Amino acid sequence: MSLVTTIAKSVVAELNKNEFSTPFEAVFSVKPGFELAQLDALRVIVVPKTLEIEAASRSSSKYLISVDIGVMRRLGQLTPEDAVETLGDIVDEVIEFLKQRTLDGFPAARCIAVTNDPIYIPDHLTQSRTFTSVVNVKYALLG
């Protein structure tokens, strides 16, 4: 299994061990996507994204691995404004949970950065009445 895949699956395991204010089951995917009907429930999907390798010294390298975490749900009765606020709170919980957490499945990886971009996708709110947010978490390890 690749390094990026291993870390992404470790992120899924960490998310699924925690209790968030709105329950969800995080899933790993290399090909994310849902039908609108599947988004009536909150969906959290973890996708491997990048691997960068930098020279740390003559004999070692620094590995930078990033994974994307998509948070999606149809708005239902919520207005777009309420959805951004309510579901944005869940995104914030995920960020707070992961930002300095060691992954039990890969303890050598250290979280060094978290980005929430986009915070939400305006077109999804208006066209499919779906909230979509992407959290990128970057991990570093020496090897």
Q: Mind listing the pLDDT tens digit for each residue in 76-118?
A: 999 999 999 999 999 999 999 999 889 999 999 999 999 999 9
pTM of the full structure: 0.93
- Reported as a single tens digit per residue, the pLDDT across 28-71 is 999 877 787 889 999 999 999 999 999 988 888 999 999 999 99
Q: Are 72 and 24 in contact (CB under 8 A)?
A: no
Predicted local confidence at residue 33, as pLDDT = 78
With 0-12 / 13-18 / 19 or more C-beta atoms within 10 angstroms meaning exposed / middle / buried, residue 133 is: buried
Tens digit of pLDDT for each residue in 96-105?
Answer: 999 988 999 9
**Domains in the chain and their CATH numbers?**
3-142 (3.30.2000.10)
Query: DSSP assignment of 76-115, as one string?
Result: TT--HHHHHHHHHHHHHHHHHHHTTPPBTTBTT-EEEEEE
